[in-house]
Structure 1
Amino acid sequence: MFGTSGIRGPVGSEVTAALALDVGRAVASELRERRTTADGGSAAADEGAPLAVVGRDARETGPVLADAVSAGLRECGADVERLGVAATPTVARAVRATNAAVGVCVTASHNPPADNGLKLWTASGRAYDVDDAERVAARVRNDRFSFADWDGFGTETDSPDAVEHGSTSPASQARQDAVEHSSTSPRSASPRQDAVERHREALVADGRQIIGSDGLEGLDAVVDVGNGTGGVTADALTELGASVTTLNAQPDGCFPARPSEPTAEHCEALTDHVEATGADLGIAHDGDADRMMAVDDHGRFVSGDVLLALFARDAASEGDQVAVPIDTSLAVDSALAAVGASAVRTPVGDVHVANRIAEDDLPFGGEPSGAWLWRDGVPCPDGPLAAVRLAGLVAERGPLSTLVDGVETYPLERDSVETDRKDDLMEVVANRVRREYAEVTSIDGVRATVDGGWFLVRASGTEPLVRLTAEAKTPEHAESLLAAARDAVRAAESELA
C-alpha cells in the first residue's frame, strides 16, 4: 500500500475514495489507541479530540479524496482542519504550528494527473516512516477501526457544514479557543490563509537570516510553478527583494503546461526563458512543491546530484556527515571531501534521510530527485525553502553557472528491467552480488563498490521494475559496471525461470 513516499497510484483502481476513507479511519484509530494507552485506559477529557490537518494539491480528484479522508478521520473521533489547495511543505509546517497530531496531504506529487495519493505527517512534521505506515496499513487490511460514538464524531473547520451549522464539540471548541487566543498562533480569515502566510513568513525570515540586510536586491529569478502549489516561492523571493517572473503559476491539476515532474526534458520552457532573458537562475517545482530543481544563468538545467553537492558542501563543516540515499553520485562525496566532510547513505526516500538527520544530528540531507532537508529547517522536503537558500547562495557566492562548473562530476549510466517478481529477483541478485564482490551494501537493493566506481540494483518502490545504476570515473568503466549489474539480473532471471 505504502511506497517510498506515501500512497500513490492511478485513481479508480489503486487509489479510491474508499481507500482514503479507510486510511482516515486507521490514522484516527491509531491516534486514539495511542492516547488511551498513554493515559492508562482513557484519554484525558480536557485534551479534546486529536487534531488532523488536511490539505491537497490541485488535482481534479483531490476534493473527493480529501472529503473521504476527512470523513474517516472524523468518524473515528479526530477533528479536522482543512487547508484546501496547499503545497505539501505548507501542510507539514501547519501540523507543528497548530499542535496537530497528524497531517494528511492528498497528492501524487510529481506523478501524472490521472494519479493521486496520500502523504501522512507526524506531529513533528516528519513523514510517516515504515513502522508508522505499516500500522496504518495493517488496520486498513484488517478493517480494525475504533469508531467514535454517535456524539463523539470529530468536527471540521473551514467546511460549509462547520460554518453553517456551527458543529463544534465543547472539547474541540476549547482547543480552538486556546489557539485563537495564543500570541504565537494568530488567526486570520481561514486555516489555509494562516498556513500559507506562516510558510511565507518563515521563508522570508530564513532568507534574511542567511542573506543579510541586502536581501536579494538585483537578483533576477524565474519560478516555474508547473501549475502546482508552489506559488509561495515567488512571493517569498519577491519580498526578499528579487525580481521574479513566474511561469505556469495558475494551479491546474491537469498540468497543461508541462508534466509535473521537474526534469530537464520537462523544463525546456524554463531553460529557454532564463537563457533568453539573462536571468540569474530558474526554479522549478513539482505538483506539490516538495521538490525543487534549478536552471543556471546560462540556461542549463542543473542535475540533482550537482545541486545536492552544492547544498551539502555549503551546509557541512570539517568532520560533518551529510545524509544521502544509496543511489547518490560520487560527485557529492568529492564535494564534501573538499571541506573535510563525508556522506552517509540511507535507503531511498526522504523519510529515511530525515530520520538520519534527526538521529545523528546532521546539518543537511537530500535526494537527487529534488528533495532537500536542513537540520535547522523542517523535517520534510520543502521546495520553496530550497529555492530561497539557492537564491541566497547565488547572491552570496556569485553566478550559479560558476558554482555548478566547480562541482566535479562523473559518467553515470542508468537502466531498468521490467519484472512482476521484483522481490524474488532482488533476493537472488543480492545473494549473487555478495558472493562476487567484496564491498557490498544492502540497505536498499544491493550496491557493489569497486575501485573507482559502483553499481546499484534496486527494486522500484512504485513500479514493476528493477532499476540499475552505475557510475565510475571514465565512461568505459561506467558502462562495464552497468553491464555487470545487467548480467547479475539476467542470471537471476534464469535462476528463477
Structure 2
Amino acid sequence: MRRLFGTDGVRGLANGELLTPELAVALSASAARVLVDRDRSHRPVAVVGRDPRASGEMLESAVVAGLASAGADAVRVGVLPTPAVAFLVGELDADFGVMISASHNPMPDNGIKLFAAGGHKLPDAQEAAVEAGLDTPAARPTGADVGRVRDLGDAGARYVDHLLSATPQRLDGLRVVVDCAHGAASTVAPDAYRRAGADVVALHAEPDGLNINEGVGSTHLDRLQRAVREDGADLGIAHDGDADRCLAVDATGAPVDGDQIMAVLAVAMRDAGELAGDTLVATVMSNLGLHLAMRDAGIAVRTTQVGDRYVLEELRAGGFTLGGEQSGHVVLPRDATTGDGLLTAMRLMARMAATGSSVAELAAIVTPLPQVLRNVQVVDKAAVAESPAVRDAVAAAEAELGGAGRVLLRPSGTEQLVRVMVEAPTAEQAQAAAGRLAEVVAAAH
C-alpha cells in the first residue's frame, strides 16, 4: 500500500478509492492508540473539526466512530478553520486533534489531518506509526470504556477571543473585503475582523457544502480584486477553504502575496523586538526578491523545503518567531502552532493601523523577480521528477539563466502534479523557460 500521508495529511477524492469512511474509522482509531501517552491514566480526548464540504459530514461521523471504538472521547467543534482546531487542541488540553478538510482543493476532494498534543503537526515518525497501526490488531473497549461524544458550542468564540488577544493594535478606520471562499472561515473571519474594529464586507461567505473554493478564495483573486476596487476598500483579504492561508490585495486590486506579507510582518516584529534572531523562515518557493529585501533590512532568511510542516520544524528547532510560504501560509509560533490565515490578516492590518500606511506602501519593501509557476498534470509525479529528460531540461534552463534567475521543479505533496517554477530577470524569459520545461515534463513517463 502506498504511503497515505502527504505533506498535509491524507487527501483524496472523498468516498473514492482512497478516502473512504472505512479508512476514516481505521485512521482515527489508530491515531487514538498511537498519539496518547502510554500510561493511559485518563480517557483520551480528541478535538474534531471540519470545513463545510458535504463529504465532511460523512467523514466526521466516521472519524468520531473510530475514536469512540478505540476508547477515545471526541469533542466536535463543527465547521472551523484548521488553525482553530489546532488552537483548541491546546486550549482544551486534548491529546490530539483531527481536522477534516482538503484546504484549497476542489469540493469533491477531502482530507484528514492530525494534530498532536498542544496542536502541533505530526512529525514523519508519528505519521508512519499511525499508518502502521492500520494493520495492527487491537483490543476493542466495551461497555463504559467505549469513547463518548460531545459538542463544544463556544468553539468559534474561543478562537476569535484568542485572535483578538494576539493582535497588537485595533483595526479602527480600516475597511476590508474578506473573501471566505465559501469555506471554514465564513463566519469567524468577518466576526473577528469586526470585533477588532475593522469595517468588514464579507464576500463568498455562504457555504452550502458544494461551493467551497469554486472560483473564489486565495487561489482565485479576480472577484476580490474587483470587489475591493468597486467598494473603495483599503484592502482585500483572501482565505482558502480551511483558512490556514492569507493573501491580500491592495486598494487598486494589485495582489500582495505571502512573501510580501512575511516581509511586512518581519519588519514589524523586528521593530517591536519580537523577531527572534532577526530571522525569517521561508521555503525554496519564496521569491528571490524576498531574500534581497530581508538582506537590506538586516534580517536573515532560513530556507526549508516546501510545506508549512517543514517551516514549523525549522521554527521550533531554532526558536524563531516568523515563517511561512509564498502561497500565504504564515506561521507565528508564539500565537499559533500552524499556519493561521486569520491571525496573519489581523497582524497585517494591525501594521497598517499602527503606521498609517497602505498595504501597497508596506508591501513595496519587496520587489519580486518575475516568477512563473506551471502546474503540469502527470500520471506518476515521482517518476517524472526523476526522468533523465526532465533533469537535462532543468540543467539547460539553469545554464541559460546563469546567476540571474533560478529553476525549481517539485512534485506536489497532495496531487498528481509536477510544479515548474522559473524566476528570471524578465517575465518573457521566465515564461519561455517555464513553457519549455512544462512541455518536457508533460511528455515524460
Q: Under a length normalisation based on structure 1, what TM-score does the superposition of the two structures give?
A: 0.80
Cα 1:93–1:481 shift into 2, 3 Å = same
Whole-angstrom distance in 2 between the partners of 1:417 and 1:229 = 28
Q: 2:60 aligns with which of 48, 55, 66?
A: 66
Whole-angstrom distance in 1 between the partners of 2:88 and 2:9 = 18
> Which residue of 2 is the match for residue 471 of structure 1?
423
Query: Do residues 17 (structure 1) and 11 (structure 2) align?
Result: no
User: How much has 1:420 moved relative to structure 2?
Assistant: 2.6
Which moves more between the two structures, 423-432 or 346-355? 423-432
User: How much has 1:329 moved relative to structure 2?
Assistant: 0.9
Q: Would the aligned equivalents of 2:378 and 2:442 in 1 still touch at CA under 8 Å?
A: no
Amino acid aligned to 1:467:
R
User: How much has 1:154 moved relative to structure 2?
Assistant: 1.1
User: How much has 1:432 moved relative to structure 2?
Assistant: 4.8
Give a deviation string over 1:399-443, Cα, whole Å, max 9, x none. Answer: 112223342111112234443333233334599579969x9xxxx
Whole-angstrom distance in 2 between the partners of 1:457 and 1:488 = 12
> Which residue of 2 is the match for residue 217 of structure 1?
172
Query: Do residues 88 (structure 1) and 74 (structure 2) align?
Result: no
Which moves more between the two structures, 394-403 or 246-255? 246-255
Cα 1:120–1:201 shift into 2, 3 Å = same
Give secondary structure in 2 for the equivalent of 1:276: helix
Cα 1:450–1:99 shift into 2, 3 Å = farther
Q: 2:292 aligns with which of 310, 334, 348?
A: 334
Q: Please give the residue correspondences for 1:27-38 in structure 2 after superposition, counting only pairs within 5 Å.
A: 27-32=31-36, 35-36=37-38
Whole-angstrom distance in 2 between the partners of 1:260 and 1:135 = 37
User: How much has 1:49 moved relative to structure 2?
Assistant: 0.7
Amino acid aligned to 1:148:
P
Query: Do residues 4 (structure 1) and 17 (structure 2) align?
Result: no
Whole-angstrom distance in 2 between the partners of 1:449 and 1:154 = 59
Amino acid aligned to 1:412:
Q
Amino acid aligned to 2:162:
A
Q: Please give the residue correspondences for 1:96-245 in structure 2 after superposition, counting only pairs within 5 Å.
A: 96-140=90-134, 142-158=135-151, 191-193=152-154, 195-207=155-167, 210-211=168-169, 215-230=170-185, 231-245=187-201
> Which residue of 2 is the match for residue 456 of structure 1?
408
> Which residue of 2 is the match for residue 176 of structure 1?
none
Whole-angstrom distance in 2 between the partners of 1:490 and 1:197 = 47
Cα 1:22–1:449 shift into 2, 3 Å = farther
Query: How many residue pairs are counted as aligned between the two chains?
Result: 434
Query: Do residues 358 (structure 1) and 312 (structure 2) align?
Result: no
Give a deviation string over 1:1-26, Cα, whole Å, max 9, x none. Answer: 11111111111213111111011111
Give secondary structure in 2 for the equivalent of 1:124: helix
The structure whose Rg is larger is 1
Give secondary structure in 2 for the equivalent of 1:308: helix
Which moves more between the two structures, 470-479 or 380-389? 470-479
User: How much has 1:371 moved relative to structure 2?
Assistant: 0.9
Q: Would the aligned equivalents of 1:454 and 1:481 in 2 still touch at CA under 8 Å?
A: no
Which moves more between the two structures, 303-312 or 462-471? 303-312
Whole-angstrom distance in 1 between the partners of 2:372 and 2:194 = 39
Cα 1:268–1:476 shift into 2, 3 Å = closer
Unaligned runs of 5+ in 2: none
Amino acid aligned to 1:155:
R
Whole-angstrom distance in 2 between the partners of 1:206 and 1:320 = 20
Amino acid aligned to 1:329:
N
Give a deviation string over 1:53-108, Cα, whole Å, max 9, x none. Answer: 11111111112111111111111111111111222111111100111010001111
Identity of matched residues, %: 35
Q: Would the aligned equivalents of 2:390 and 2:440 in 1 still touch at CA under 8 Å?
A: no
User: How much has 1:144 moved relative to structure 2?
Assistant: 4.1
Q: Would the aligned equivalents of 1:111 and 1:261 in 2 still touch at CA under 8 Å?
A: no
> Which residue of 1 is the match for residue 73 of structure 2?
79
Cα 1:198–1:23 shift into 2, 3 Å = same
Q: 1:55 aligns with which of 49, 54, 72?
A: 49
Q: 1:296 aligns with which of 238, 250, 263?
A: 250
Q: Please give the residue correspondences for 1:354-433 in structure 2 after superposition, counting only pairs within 5 Å.
A: 354-397=312-355, 398-428=357-387, 432=391
Amino acid aligned to 2:194:
T
Cα 1:339–1:319 shift into 2, 3 Å = farther
Give a deviation string over 1:238-268, Cα, whole Å, max 9, x none. Answer: 12222112122233221278435422xx233
Whole-angstrom distance in 1 between the partners of 2:391 and 2:254 = 40
Give secondary structure in 2 for the equivalent of 1:4: coil
Cα 1:250–1:488 shift into 2, 3 Å = closer
> Which residue of 2 is the match for residue 268 of structure 1?
222
Q: Would the aligned equivalents of 1:52 and 1:104 in 2 still touch at CA under 8 Å?
A: yes
Give a deviation string over 1:446-476, Cα, whole Å, max 9, x none. Answer: xx99512211111112222222111123335
Give secondary structure in 2 for the equivalent of 1:467: strand
Q: Would the aligned equivalents of 2:393 and 2:440 in 1 still touch at CA under 8 Å?
A: no
> Which residue of 2 is the match for residue 345 of structure 1?
303
Whole-angstrom distance in 2 between the partners of 1:31 and 1:279 = 46
Give secondary structure in 1 for the equivalent of 2:98: strand
User: How much has 1:373 moved relative to structure 2?
Assistant: 0.5
Amino acid aligned to 2:285:
D
Cα 1:299–1:26 shift into 2, 3 Å = same
Whole-angstrom distance in 1 between the partners of 2:432 and 2:223 = 35
CA RMSD, Structure 1 to Structure 2 (Å): 2.8
Q: Would the aligned equivalents of 1:471 and 1:481 in 2 still touch at CA under 8 Å?
A: no
Amino acid aligned to 2:360:
S
Which moves more between the two structures, 288-297 or 315-324? 315-324
